[in-house]
Amino acid sequence: MKTPSIPLDCGLADEQKPNDMSLIGCSVKKVSGKPFKSGLKTNTIKGFMRHPQINRKAFTFFEDDSYVACYMCFVFKEKKQ
């Protein structure tokens, strides 16, 4: 498995980081290796939200209507320029 190229732990220092809009369009995988709700192993970041259960930054995706906490994902492929 490829080492994450961009650290995505958006935990306690969450509010101090900018909304990294440069991540929109990047493909991510879950650290656990489990598939997303879409059934795919990779999803494309559409935006950000606050995870309602754990109150941490989360990604939303183009492929489905799910959201996953940032710290549970890593960038698999950066978006095309």
Domain ranges of the chain: 14-77
Residue 6, CB half-sphere, CA atoms under 13 Å: how many?
A: 18
pTM, to two decimals: 0.74
For residue 75, the one-letter residue type is V
State how far the Cα of 36 lies from the Cα of 2, in Å rounded to an integer. 18
Output the pLDDT for position 81. Answer: 60
pLDDT band at 14 (very low <50, low <70, confident <90, very high): very low
Instruction: Inform me whether the pLDDT recorded for 52 exceeds 70.
Output: yes
User: Comparing C-alpha atoms, which of 20, 37, 38, 23 is closest to residue 76?
Assistant: 23
Helix (H, G, I), strand (E, B) or coil at 22: helix
